[in-house]
Amino acid sequence: MKRIGIDVGGTNTDAVLIDGNRVISSIKIPTSDDVMTGVVKAINSVMAAQGPQDSPIDAVMIGTTHFTNAVVERARLERAGAIRIAMPTGESLPPMIDWPADLREAVNPMSFMVEGGHEYDGRPLMPLDRAAIRDAAMRLRDAGITSVGITALFSPLTAECEVEAASIVQEIMPDARITQSSTLGRIGLLERENVTMLNAALQQLGRKTVAAFGEALRQAGISAPFYLTQNDGTVVLAEIAAANPVYSFASGPTNSMRGAAFLTGLEDAMVVDVGGTTSDIGYLQRGFPREANNVVEVGGVRTLFRMPDLLPMALGGGTIVDPDKLTVGPRSVGYRITEKALVFGGDTLTTTDIAVAAGRADIGDRDRVRHLDPALVQTVLKRIETMLEDGIDRMKTSAEDVKLIAVGGGAFLVPEKLKGASEVLRVEHAGVANALGAAMAQVSGEVDQVFSGLGRAEAIAEADRIARERAMAAGAVDSTIVTLETEDIPLAYLPGNARRVRVRVIGDIAFATA
């Protein structure tokens, strides 16, 4: 199967064309100001390796920072309505109370708190106030709001309040885009509501982004179905991804980690992905990124949902070096590195200039950095080494040394030896590992919820069935689906032999039906 993988980063846009497991062509170009121009250029570059008699492209996989950037920049966000079903106990802290003021202002939410929800043991807290839901829906409709986030107390235990509320809202607002918290987050009302409202505020951008990518593919003459990468190392049909844009958060580093596993054949290792602006350190388990099990902040907002366990650092190929203070970062020239870095004729000292001066990289014009003081070069290299060693130590779960795979366009910044790493691995195509990870991604299905009234085997079997259904809905071939992870935790404080079950399955993409 021929696939094109694309990863749009803040500094570079990478693309690869693969046929099965063989890399046919690859390209790394600076990300354009309007993004889509760079995407079209990248596609045309890798497609140049295609002859007129070659088989057509089967699918295109795209990773993008669009949605994360929108949150960070407080831009392109849609006004959304928040309906919290948790009264009378959940009244003291209104929706989005812990958001940064500028982000809350950008979303400008219209919030409603109504009676309903459930207790921790699954018993109803209060009957759902259907009249209040209808009133909220009518007021949202009259205000011109078309995106709504619904969050009910302990909905991961039972989502019936959210489902009924969504039905009422849809009846009054047929064109509304509704996000139910139980489909995204975990136990923890505020964090689950936060990710629900981020998703609601991003859905319009999700639709526009998918449409823009579709147009970019048409301009490049490609009619194949396309997918967006997710933050668990998989892909999903673009139309489905548009409804849940929050699942693309941190998908870039995740793509790089999957690409690292693909390039090395290792399923358990540490990965450092060095981009143009930042680096991310993560851990591969069974070929996929280790998942974070605690609160993760996105743009200053506390969330608790599916996210990879990553350690970001302000270290990249475009990171600015202050020769007077001998500091590295945190500022970066970003995608303007080909204009600003010394080796490209610019006037800003970057880590790339340091690497070229040290002979670690052959980029640009080395003569432009021959004047750098060797002592300065060695001092900066030592600072970079210390940053990476500290990051490795923070991400390890044992004192044993681990293999470290260095990928990304700035992988030349990673020294050959590091404390905590038994070996530093470098592989061909490491510079476009993110695009490779996107190109070879599979489709997943996941369930993480509490089951009661069932035995352990029955609960796990039901969770597995739901996860497989979700994988098929996302575009997976039924016969290829395999279970990747199964976890169950008995909940002694809940009645009915309750247990939390998490099942994750992976399957190949159903190209013929995409």
* 188 lies in the same domain as 329: no
* 312 lies in the same domain as 433: yes
* 287 lies in the same domain as 313: yes
Phi-psi region of 364 (alpha: psi -120 to 50; beta: other; left: phi over 0): left
The CATH number of the domain holding residue 122 is 3.40.50
Name the domain boundary from 438, 455, 470.
438
Residue 237 lies in a domain: no
Domain count, the chain: 3
Residue 129 lies in a domain: yes
Residue 120 lies in a domain: yes
Q: Which domain holds residue 164?
A: 73-202
Residue 212 lies in a domain: no
Residue 222 lies in a domain: no
* 410 lies in the same domain as 470: no
* 276 lies in the same domain as 323: yes
* 277 lies in the same domain as 305: yes
Tokens 């048409």 identify what position? Answer: 218
* 433 lies in the same domain as 294: yes
pLDDT in tens, 326-339: 899 889 998 789 89
CB crowding 67-90: b at 16 or more within 10 Å, else e? bbbbbeebebbbbbbbbbbbbeeb
* 483 lies in the same domain as 390: no
Q: Is residue 513 predicted with pLDDT exceeding 50?
A: no
Bridge-based pairing of strands 288-289 and 279-285 is antiparallel
Hey, what amino acid is at 147? S
Task: Report, as an integer, the average pLDDT of 468-483.
Answer: 89
Give the pLDDT of residue 405: 97
pLDDT in tens, 415-470: 999 999 999 999 889 889 999 999 988 888 888 877 888 889 999 999 999 999 98
Residue 207 lies in a domain: no
Q: CA distances (Å), 41 to each of 21, 27, 208, 408, 493, in order?
A: 24, 10, 20, 20, 57
* 154 lies in the same domain as 266: no
The CATH number of the domain holding residue 396 is 3.30.420
* 423 lies in the same domain as 293: yes
Give the pLDDT of residue 494: 67
Residue 38 lies in a domain: no
Name the domain boundary from 416, 438, 460.
438
* CA dihedral sign, ordered 224, 225, 229, 232: negative
Residue 134 lies in a domain: yes
Name the domain boundary from 438, 453, 473.
438
Taking the alpha carbons at both ends of the chain, their separation in whole angstroms is 14
* 429 lies in the same domain as 307: yes
Q: CA distances (Å), 77 to each of 74, 134, 222, 241, in order?
A: 7, 25, 30, 17
pLDDT in tens, 43-96: 999 988 877 777 888 889 999 888 888 898 898 999 999 999 999 887 888 999
* 337 lies in the same domain as 349: yes
